[in-house]
Amino acid sequence: MHELALSQGIVDLVCQQAAADGARRVRRVRIAVGVLSSVEPDAIEFCFDVVSRGTLAEGARLEIARPPGRARCVPCDAVVTVAGRDQPCPLCSERRWVLVGGDDLRVLELEVE
């Protein structure tokens, strides 16, 4: 279950940042889990609760945004939204594109007190 390791990474990052800011605790964490990443948001939420126990991030509200897959189509030279890795470009129906976003997990925002 790689969500556990990912959640640990998020909590480490968030706690480091919060400690650097002199925060007493983390209120809210906003992360992005790309639709085309192989990450299960529900599992992240569950693991976040577990690994944040006893840290500055304990009890923090976790918000998960789901950015869509973004690809640069080679024939169109346009950035388009793709629903899956095997999906064609919605403009030209070709499948010659390069993924440029929506396949990763990132921390977007942090609210501390």
Instruction: Indicate the residue type of 106.
Output: R
**Rounded Cα–Cα distance for residues 71 and 52 (Å):** 34
- Between residues 13 and 76, which has the closer beta carbon with respect to Zn ion? 76
CB burial readout 20-32, b (16+ within 10 A) else e? eeebeebeebebb
**Mask for 72-111, x = binds Zn ion (CB under 5 A):** -x-xx------------x-xx-------------------
If the CB atoms of residues 79 and 108 are measured against Zn ion, the closer one turns out to be: 79
Supply the minimum distance, in Å, between the C-beta of residue 34 and Zn ion: 20
CB of 14 vs Zn ion, minimal distance in Å: 38
Q: Which residues bind Zn ion (CB under 5 A)?
A: 73, 75-76, 89, 91-92
